[in-house]
Structure 1
Amino acid sequence: MYDDNGAPIRRRTRLTDEADELRYLALELETDHEAFVSRGRAPWRGLSGHDPLDDLEDEEFGERQWEDWHDGMYDEDDPERPQRRRPSGRGVDIVPPVVGDVVVRVDPAIAAAFAARQPDAEEGPSWEVDGGRVTVVGDFKVWAGNCGHCSTPFEQRRPASQRRKWRKSCSRECAKAVDRAKARERMAAQRGTDAA
């Protein structure tokens, strides 16, 4: 698993038989051959003894890691920098990032070619539907056509994943007028069948 910055998230591991064998090998090297063997999640780089981070609960370990990462955006001399109380021992191994300006330089020929291709990339396929035309623009579908009541041109936008009918009227007033006209026609047809 990786965090938002693409760095692997450190997590606790359960020891397998092979890891137990490696622990015994490390113990043998340390006792018989007086070799330094690192214990814990990261090398102690020349220190020996107990890693205080091994005693932390998973929640506290994650919280300390987040605090150290978050404190990296403050200046060391900033009075607003949080004062974290740490037990004696080593701190978290991940060094907070140094925040600075990022400068991106692009070859002008590549930028011009990209700008020339961009309108074609953003403007997707289009097709005719009842009463208008649908065009795919990025992640959206745009319907353009005339109102079914007042014939005023208008547009509608919706996410490209939606598949439902498009409105045929530009406003609620026009939609109500269309509904009233349909009701009048229906009642006139019903009166015509009743009279016959």
Structure 2
Amino acid sequence: MYDDNGAPIQRRTHLTDEAEELRYLALELETDHDAYVSRGRAPWRGLSGHDPLDDIPDEEFGERQWEDWHDGMYDEGDPERPRRRRPSGREVDIVPPVVAPVTVRVDPAIAAAFAARQAEATEGPSWEVDGGRVTVVGDFKEWSGPCIECGQEFTQRRPASQRRKWRRLCGEECSAERRRTANRERMRAVRADAA
């Protein structure tokens, strides 16, 4: 249902008979037995909670309806009138994700105990893998070997529980150079097939 301005009309809450009985029961408990009855638990529209539109007079109800329509038509940021929120406190239905830097907080006592245990760790088993050698030291695995691009020796370290391939390039520069070389070879092969 819409009003003369084309805005949807907010209708007043119609309580069911059961909700009305609960309201009178709460009133009776408060007046006759000095009991505290939470207002937030009075059911309305089949939901648990308080209908905020029940407490305002008809004039203000009409003004709010006009303001809602006006705010929808003319997006004016009026600093005098605070932005109203929904009864649940939400401002918008979909909140965009907040991108923030990740901070990792470690208990200093736990970090110190781990560092002490790692300092006492002895070198464990060692084995050869494709392009290098893996050695277990305490809770970590260490891989050492030459870079396949520049030939310089480098070392990688990761927790002993991880099982994945070791990086064979020492850094971003060697990785970019490897990519360029592969692209050159691929394009050379494409040109050779086209000719």
Q: TM-score if structure 2 supplies the norm length?
A: 0.37
Q: TM-score if structure 1 supplies the norm length?
A: 0.37
